């Protein structure tokens, strides 16, 4: 049977991170920029066979499209050209959250705000209205996200293989290498399963011949068109940042793999996930346990990487409290038809600081970045109180 391979790369930089690195560790900032700029360049000679999915956080897109940042790194990378080149026919852009939050850990009311703000910048930069797939940051997913994703127009969502459980009886291979349906509150979405073991190899370094043999072994005996999905970060780690072409992901793995595909000796075909779904659809029903992908220290179960300490838990609890205050005031002003434009502006200032406080990196690094979350929440509440004072004075 046919075997298809979907490559997925996640690109994210937290707010202000590249600017800070330019001030303190400019070599690291250059490595990150080169790693991203390398993607469309590596694909340029393989447009007939290459297929790569990219998720780019809103904060990264904001930085790359900022004129001051573009001027600052001119001579290193031409960010305008990079953004334009990401429109390559070999690249499919996945939807995600603007500030890269772990969606199940943030208030439900903020999830749509995160996605709609990402839509705002992505539709402008990529000149397209529709994005078929959704990349949940850190692959943090829970079933109650399904109705929102469906309402916002997504056809499929990517999840980690360790989180998926079959409802319809199916084999080990079917569970991992076929798309499935998952339902919640009467809404259904297609689940695309990331192969964790092969994704770990994609992240750390692998040989194309090993990958071809491993895929053949894993799909042996399958009587269906298998979809092998590998997902990892695309600009972190030496495998992606290495500027020596024969020692990085693109020169040592992806391009040689594409050469084998052209020769007809790879035994697999690169594919966009939506194209696979259009031809083969999905099969069977699954449920997805709440969790994330594996990190360096944890397997993603229980979101321990982001919730392991009391300080992390307290910050997330405060996020919930501030979110409730902001949404409550917005609702009140909306009911009145937003009579006070200045109050509306103040609440918007509060909202985007709340959303930025939810950035996954604020919690990923243990307690090290948690103060950044509180700083944004402090600023958000400053604007809330200013709006409350206007309301009391009016």
Percent of the chain with pLDDT over 70: 99
Residue 1, pLDDT score: 63
The Cα–Cα gap between 266 and 4 comes to 11
Residue 177, pLDDT score: 98
Name the nearest CA neighbour of 57 among 32, 110, 93.
93
The Cα–Cα gap between 14 and 17 comes to 5
List, in sequence order, every residue forming a beta bridge with 156; answer none if it has no partner: 133, 190
* pLDDT reading at 390 higher than 90: no
* pLDDT reading at 46 higher than 90: yes
Give the pTM: 0.96
Tokens, residue 134: 């959704």
Q: Dmax over Cα atoms in the chain, in whole Å?
A: 75
pLDDT tens digits, one per residue of 229-260: 999 999 999 999 999 999 999 999 999 999 99
Angle (CA) 228-52-251 rounded to 5° is 100
Indicate the CATH number for domain 3-288: 3.20.110.20
pLDDT tens digits, one per residue of 290-314: 999 999 889 999 999 999 999 999 9
Average pLDDT over residues 213-227: 95
Residue 257, pLDDT score: 98
Flag the least confident range among 68-72, 92-96, 126-130, 389-393. 389-393
One DSSP character per residue, 26-84 reads HHHHHHHHHHHHHHHHHHGGGTTT--EEEEE-HHHHHHHT-HHHHHHTTTT--HHHHHH
Flag the least confident range among 26-40, 163-177, 204-218, 323-337. 323-337
* pLDDT reading at 157 higher than 90: yes
Q: What is the residue-averaged pLDDT of the chain?
A: 96
Beta-strand pair 226-233/3-11: parallel
The Cα–Cα gap between 10 and 199 comes to 12
Tokens, residue 342: 């200045």
Q: Where are the domains of the chain?
A: 3-288, 308-393
Residue 296, pLDDT score: 83
Percent of the chain with pLDDT over 90: 94
Stretch (H or E) spanning 145? none
Average pLDDT over residues 124-141: 97
Residue 335, pLDDT score: 81
pLDDT tens digits, one per residue of 308-342: 999 999 999 999 999 999 999 999 888 888 788 89
The Cα–Cα gap between 364 and 110 comes to 19
pLDDT tens digits, one per residue of 28-37: 999 999 999 9
Average pLDDT over residues 105-129: 97
């Amino acid at each position: 049977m046919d075997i298809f391979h979907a490559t997925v790369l996640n690109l994210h930089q937290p707010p202000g991170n590249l600017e800070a690195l330019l001030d303190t560790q400019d070599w690291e900032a250059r490595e990150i920029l080169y790693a991203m700029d390398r993607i469309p360049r590596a694909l340029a000679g393989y447009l007939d066979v290459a297929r790569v999915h990219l998720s780019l956080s809103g904060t990264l897109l904001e930085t790359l499209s900022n004129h001051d940042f573009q001027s600052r790194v001119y001579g290193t990378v031409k960010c305008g050209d990079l953004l334009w080149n990401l429109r390559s026919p070999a690249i499919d852009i996945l939807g995600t959250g603007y500030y890269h939050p772990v969606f199940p850990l943030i208030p439900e009311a903020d999830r749509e705000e995160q996605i709609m703000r990402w839509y705002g910048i992505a539709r402008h930069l990529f000149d397209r209205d529709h994005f078929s797939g959704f990349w949940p940051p850190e692959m943090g997913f829970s079933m109650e996200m399904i109705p929102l994703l469906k309402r916002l127009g997504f056809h499929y969502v990517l999840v980690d293989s360790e989180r998926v459980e079959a409802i319809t009886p199916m084999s080990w291979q079917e569970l991992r290498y076929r798309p499935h349906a998952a339902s919640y509150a009467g809404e259904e979405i297609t689940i695309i399963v990331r192969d964790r073991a092969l994704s770990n190899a994609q992240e750390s370094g692998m040989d194309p011949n090993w990958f071809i043999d491993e895929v053949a072994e894993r799909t042996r005996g399958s009587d269906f068109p298998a979809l092998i999905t590998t997902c990892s970060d695309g600009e972190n780690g030496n495998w992606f940042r290495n500027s020596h072409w024969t020692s990085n992901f693109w020169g040592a793995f992806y391009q040689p793999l594409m050469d084998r595909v052209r020769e007809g000796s790879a035994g697999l075909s690169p594919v966009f996930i939506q194209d696979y779904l259009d031809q083969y659809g999905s099969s069977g029903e699954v449920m997805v346990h709440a969790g994330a992908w594996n990190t360096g220290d944890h397997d993603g179960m229980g979101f321990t990487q982001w919730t392991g300490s009391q300080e992390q838990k307290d910050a997330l609890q405060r996020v919930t409290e501030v979110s409730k205050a902001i949404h409550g005031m917005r609702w009140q002003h909306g009911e009145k038809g937003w009579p006070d434009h200045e109050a509306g502006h103040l609440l918007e200032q509060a909202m985007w600081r709340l959303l930025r406080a939810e950035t996954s990196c604020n919690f990923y690094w243990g307690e090290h970045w948690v103060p950044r979350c509180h700083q944004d929440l402090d600023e958000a509440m400053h604007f809330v109180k200013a709006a409350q004072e206007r309301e009391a004075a009016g």
